[in-house]
Amino acid sequence: MERTIIKTKNLERVYTTGAVKTYALRDISIEIKEGEFVAIMGKSGSGKSTLLHQLGLLDKPTKGSITIGGNDVINISEKERTRFRLNELGYVFQSYNLIPELTAIENVYITAMARDLKREEYERLAEEMLAAVGLEDRMHHYPSELSGGQQQRVSIARALVNKPKILFADEPTANLDSASSEDVINLFRKFNKEIGQTIVMVTHEKDEGEKADRIIWVKDGLLDMEKLKSI
């Protein structure tokens, strides 16, 4: 039986500006199974990225609960959240967000280094990851020397180097051409199939969403029940 890796209950995220309250998320209760490749879709401003940020511990919901691997990740200290992000989660951002002062391999192994691995080990892991995303010949290049697609592949290698429980990707193809976009989605599919990597990806491209196992539709900060029923 597949184990639930992410579970949210009545998740709510409100932004307050003076007396005005804006509900970015309301009453979101979802479950994601281990090894699942899930796409979160919806129109611009629907709340899909906000949902991903809550699941990925990059932001804190104003109400509701989130458990990851059975652990409550809301009521833990900032220090524990940082440790959780380092050891259990991986991130791929829309604009790659690599550190410009680090080469590809350094960008990949910096988080492994922070886990107190020995130099040989974190270098080997980073090399393996870069080879897995097809960048074995670009390891010592700086981000400014790589194309957008290559940078996003480095970003995927960085996200996976610590063998995270979940990989979160926030519109990972939005800045890429169609060929590079396909490469990235194929890589996600490959890691999902080959190593059973759980992936939660926000996208607004329907054909990319269709490559996922399941789509969670979000509309106006709520789960889009109509679309969910229609699948």
Contact residues toward other proteins (CB under 8 A) are 53, 58-59, 78-79, 82-87, 89, 91, 93, 97-102, 106, 110-111, 113-114, 116, 142, 158
Helix, strand or coil, per DSSP, at residue 204: coil
Q: Which is nearer to other proteins, 126 or 215 (CB)?
A: 126
CA dist 48 and 25 (Å) reads: 9
What is the closest distance, in whole angstroms, from the C-beta atom of residue 107 to other proteins in the complex? 10
Q: Which is nearer to other proteins, 65 or 97 (CB)?
A: 97
What is the closest distance, in whole angstroms, from the C-beta atom of residue 30 to other proteins in the complex? 21
CA dist 64 and 67 (Å) reads: 10
Q: Which is nearer to other proteins, 12 or 182 (CB)?
A: 12
Q: Which is nearer to other proteins, 111 or 224 (CB)?
A: 111
Residue 76 is encoded by which pair of tokens? 């833990």
Q: Which element (helix H / strand E) includes 20?
A: strand 20-28
What is the closest distance, in whole angstroms, from the C-beta atom of residue 189 to other proteins in the complex? 23
Q: In Å, how far from its chain's centre is CA 154? A: 14
Count CA atoms within 13 Å of residue 208 on its CB side. 28
